[in-house]
Amino acid sequence: MRKVLTIAGKEIRSYFVSPMAYVVLAFFLGVCGLIFALTVTMTQSEANMAGMFHTMIFITLMMTPVITMGLLSQEQSTGSLELLMTNPIRESEVVIGKYLAALALYMIALVASLEFALIINAFGDPDWMAILSGYIGVTLAGMAFLAIGLFSSALVANQIAAAVLGYLMLLFFWLIGWLDSAVEGVLGTIAKNISILENFQDFAKGIIDSRPIIFFASLIVFALFLSVRALENKRTI
């Protein structure tokens, strides 16, 4: 566990000594804030965050591959992986440590975004249960995105390629829900069930169901497992 925290600590520090953390936070809060301001002023809607969560998850999708792109690819391209892995540390500890660092940065963004809920609270009477469930959904989906991004970063040594690969994988899970209406039968049902958007809908509506929780949890575990395997395979060519 200490080794995991050592890795995580190092990555968090490098997020904050590079522009990465600030760019990511500014992007997330800036775009969320802009869309929040537009909806509030233009639609004069009732006090809820449902629309806000749809914005947030889309921005999360845009931002997570950038957060994770360098985590494992840079170790490979600079050659520091050799120094790292000749230490008495497991691949799984490296992967989890890096994942926790990415998650920490993401959570900072989410916590900062609570300001929007507080603003709504100041002017209206929002349903806090719905806000809670929305945040659970955004957190889970973001965690899955980060795990997938980390996997793509383990696969390729180039940061930009890792980001692009991450976007492609996320888009697959994002868009596959459309197959539901296009394809009949079992295939359509499967497509619907592994779609990120479909699994996210309930949370945004304020419903906390076990099925999407299990979906996101499995996606996270599976992507992290694949990252560990990818990292192991890098050295066993």
Max CA distance (Å), the chain: 60
> Binding to other proteins by residue 18, rule CB under 8 A?
yes
Cβ distance to other proteins smaller for residue 82 or 115: 82
68-107 footprint of other proteins as x/- string (CB under 8 A):
----------xxx-xxxxxxxxx-----------------
Judge contact between 141 and 220, C-beta under 8 A: no
Q: How far is the CB of 33 from other proteins (least distance, A)?
A: 30
- A 10 A CB-CB count for 169 gives 18
> Binding to other proteins by residue 164, rule CB under 8 A?
no
Q: How far is the CB of 75 from other proteins (least distance, A)?
A: 9
Cβ distance to other proteins smaller for residue 68 or 76: 76
Judge contact between 191 and 101, C-beta under 8 A: no
Interface pick for other proteins out of 22, 23, 178, 235 (rule CB under 8 A): 235
Judge contact between 124 and 41, C-beta under 8 A: no
Cβ distance to other proteins smaller for residue 84 or 175: 84
> Binding to other proteins by residue 6, rule CB under 8 A?
yes
Binding-residue total with other proteins (CB under 8 A): 26
> Is residue 73 helix, strand or coil?
helix
> Binding to other proteins by residue 14, rule CB under 8 A?
yes
Cβ distance to other proteins smaller for residue 9 or 51: 9
Each residue of 189-207: b (16+ CB within 10 Å) or e?
A: eebbebbbbbbbebbbebe
> Is residue 139 helix, strand or coil?
helix
Q: How far is the CB of 100 from other proteins (least distance, A)?
A: 14
Q: How far is the CB of 89 from other proteins (least distance, A)?
A: 5
Each residue of 140-150: b (16+ CB within 10 Å) or e?
A: bbbbbbbbbbb
In angstroms, the CA 228 to CA 90 distance is 9
Give the residues lining the site for other proteins (CB under 8 A): 2-3, 5-7, 9-10, 13-14, 17-18, 78-80, 82-90, 235-237
